[in-house]
Every structure is written in structure tokens, then in C-alpha cells.
Structure 1
Amino acid sequence: MYYELALLAYLVDMAVGELPGKHPVVFIGDFIKAFERRFYRNRILPGACLVLGAVTLALGISLALVYLCGILPFGLTLPVLAVLSSTGLAMNMLHASVAGILTAEQPKQAISLLVSRDTEAMTETEIHKAALETWAENLSDGVIAPLFYLVLFGLPGIAVYKAINTLDSMVAYKTERYFYFGKTAAIVDDIANFIPARLTALLIVLLAEDRQSAWQSVLRDGNKLESPNAGYPIAAMAGALGIGLGGDAYYHGKLKHKPTLGPALKPVNRAALAQGLNMKTRLDLIILGLLALGGWLA
């Protein structure tokens, strides 16, 4: 277990956020784009080869970095690995991006940078709803899941996870172009996020003022979305705030019917978004406490 590494990496992300320079995820994205340009066929085999290639690349580079860090002077190995690992965490960036909706002069343009749904005709309620769904879902994808694999496998674990997550965000769409090509990426991402999504939901429940409502929402609505994972943190957030999330939305000009998650007792407004974002400080403390406890017990 790599509790100390994860603790230091999380502290780096809290203190610094995004490091300057080209983000490692961009390199993974460049590889995916290059592979797609050269080998794209809307079939399962080319898509599976893409997943294997991206994961192998991430694993190979991360293992080489671990080796190089191992030959650094005494006392530098852990800090350097922590800085490298912090690039796979996105708590500060995620929170700042979603919080930007509260102060944006053009909220529709701001939310369009965070979601894949159509935003031109969004109402104020729909903007706040999309922001809260992004906050909840990406607490799993951008924070808890990377930490989970960092604790288990060190830098290679978080590197491989980020490759899988990037593949999912780029090719795992049920569109005409990617239906078969992105199928392997979607399945692997679903497997990788199965445990972290449920851990994220549990953490949100623990942070809720009305834990019973949050827990009931998870049990009742967590499995209602098409994704086997996204519904759990979103349902937990909806229950924690007493609101309804999910529901119909437009994607690429087409209306997609989705169930509503949560009790829908309160309006989804600016106050609800602010309340959801205010969970960050307590969530930071819980994460740091759990990592410190794990390191102490290990």
C-alpha cells in the first residue's frame, strides 16, 4: 500500500493544483488521436488494440519514472513521486471549474466546457443541475478513483487509471463513429470505476446533513442511469442536498430521456450548487485523515 505517497500527492494538489507545463493526460490524448487517425475502424478489435496500447504506454512510462526516482539521492524519491502522482489528481481544478459557474458572466459558455450535453438552450436550473452532476461524478473520476489506484499500486496505478479514464472520455460514446471502436474502452472504464464510484457515494453520504436521505437516494436511484457507476455519486449528492438531479437532456441535438435521481424536495439553484461545493473542505479533511490513518496502520 502507498498511503504516504497518496497523502503527499494529495497535499501537493491541494497546495498547487495544476502544475505548469503539458499535462500527462494531454500526452495520452495525443496518442489516442494519433492511433485513431491511423488505425480507426468502427470495430471492436481496433478499439481493443487502442486500449491495450494506451495502457501499455502509461504503464511503461510510469515504471520507468519509478525506476529513475529510485536512484535519486536519499530523501528525494518520495517527494518527486508525490509531485508526479499529483498530476493524476484533480480536486482543486474540478472544484475551481465548477465553482466558476457561480461567478461566470456567461454561465452557458462556462458549463459548455464541463459537459458534453447541448447547452445553448439551458435554463438557469439546468445549468446548476449540470454543474452539480459534474461535481459529483468527477469526484469519483478525478479524485477518489485516482487515489484508490495510487494507494494500491503507486504511480503505475494512477497512470494506468488516467489512461483508461482518458480513453473513456475520448472514444467511449454510443455514436455511429464510436459504437464498436469505443466499446472496449467503455467496458474497461466501467470496471475500473466500479469500486471508486461507490466509495465516492459513501463519502458524500457521510458529509450530508441528512445522511438518511442521501443513503436512501443511493439505494433507490444509484443504479438507474445507463452508466453502472455515475448514478451512485450523483444520487448521493442529490439526496444530500434534497434535490433532483439527472432528467432529460439534449446531446448532439437529440433529446435523451434520463431518470431523475434524488428526492427533488428543493429547487436546484445557485444556493444548492454552493452547498454542494462547500463539501470540499470536509471532504479534504476526511481524505487526508483516512490516508494518514492508513499510513499509520500499515
Structure 2
Amino acid sequence: MVELPEAGGSPVVHFVGEDGRSRDFRFAELPLPQLHQELAAALAARVGPGGGRRTQRAAMGQWQSIRRFFTVLEGLAAPPRRVEELTARQVERYWMKCLETCSPATAAKQVQELLRLLRALPGQDRLGADLVEYMAQRRHGADAQSTALPGYSDREFQAVMAAARRDVASIRDRLAAGEELLARYRTDPGGLDTPAREQGARLETMAACGRPQVDYRGLAVGQYPRAMYEQAGQLFVVDDDLAPLMVYAAGLTGRNPENFTEWGTRAKGLRADFTHVVSIEFRF
């Protein structure tokens, strides 16, 4: 949200991010007051609910790009006084300034960030033709392609991790129930009712040979694969378990996802027709 002081002066952009943290960005700290109102509107669009910078860290990065750009503009022989006077050459000067302290790749990203901000300026039809053309160039414009995938915001990451945690907890509880029944069968099979005792016997055989033991009585032929899959899941990790387990492990450890992808590929190769299975012990 942009606050315009009633008595005049420079605007303030109030930011509240998805991570719950807030920040006020005060344009009074910057030179060239004639540009403050429109750049404040662009910043508010970038860090607002519909923008692409929704954490305090990301919003601070956008603010720093504005500060650096104003510093470059102030140093020009004829600084711009209106958005119509912004030019591609000024953006290139900003790029050269970034190169003084950053690698070429980092400088390019900072320029892209600035151009995304300029694309959020109100009244795009007022921008000069050279700047509009510059922003449209894929080589260094705001639409430049990146080899890296965008990261999650804090809210998105927390939602992904919450879903993965629920799935992993369900896997844990399922395996624990199978292990408990197996332990009860081994300790006192006579204390179980007939269905539980029969299931315990199947689990004991499964634990010994690593193959699902299924009671096919009353099942149609088309139901056999699903019954085998469900029976295997009483003691073993199955295919559907791999995604939540790897997502949760990657989120907790911060390890490269490729490490878990390789692990998953090897694990899937071991489970043809449930001849071999992967078993784990999971604890929170």
C-alpha cells in the first residue's frame, strides 16, 4: 500500500509479506523527488498481494534495486525528472554500475529485477520507445529466460511441507500398525481373533521373504494387483510413498533434489513385482 502524506512530501510503501514480516519503504531517503510517486506505485505493485516479491527479503531486494538506480540517475549530467525521460541508456549505465561490484550473471539479474519494476510503472504508454524496446529484448530484458526454476515463497514452502508431513505421518502410522500386529502375532497368536491372526501370519511370511502374501478369496481377478499393493504397504514402503518421503527429506535437509531423484530411481529398480522392497524407519 502506498501512503501519500497529506502535507506533501515523498510517499511511503507499506509492505506486509507472506512470511508475516513488515517493512516501510520511505522514498524521502531517495533523490529525484519528481519520480517518487510513480516509482512508489511500481514498488507497491511488485511487493503487494498480486506481485512477485512477497517475502521481506525479496521486497528488500526490490527496494535496493530502486536505491541503486536512483543513485545512478542522480549522478547523470541531466537526471530525468519524469518517467517519460527514462531511457535504455540509463538502464545500461545502471548495468555498468552493477558490474563494478558483481559478477556478470548477478548484474544481469539485478538489471532484470529493475526492468520488472519499470514494467509495473503506471502509464506504460508514456515510456520512451527505446526503453520499451529494450525491456522487450530477451537477451537482458524483464522476460529473459533463466536456467533456474523459480523458488517457493515462504507461504508456498510451508504449505508443501505441511502436506508432505501429513503424508509421511500417514506412512509412519500405516507401517507402525503393521509392525504392531506382527509383534502381537509373534508374541501371542492365540490372543488375536481369526482375521487378525490370519493377517499376522501373512505379515510374518512377508517379513521373512520380502514378498506380499495376499488372501485372494472373494476377489475378482482385476482386484488382485490392488490387493497385493495394499498388502505390501502394511510392512513396506511402496511407490506412492516415495514422492512425499523425498519432498519431506529435501525440505528438511536442504539437499539437492537430484540426490533424492537418484535414490528414488535406484529404489524403484529394486521393486519389480514386489520381489524386492524398500523398508525404512521414520521418526519425527
Scaled by the length of structure 1, the TM-score of the pair is 0.23
Q: Structure with the greater relative contact order (CA < 8 A, sep ≥ 6): 1 or 2? A: 1
Give the helix-richer structure, 1 or 2. Answer: 1
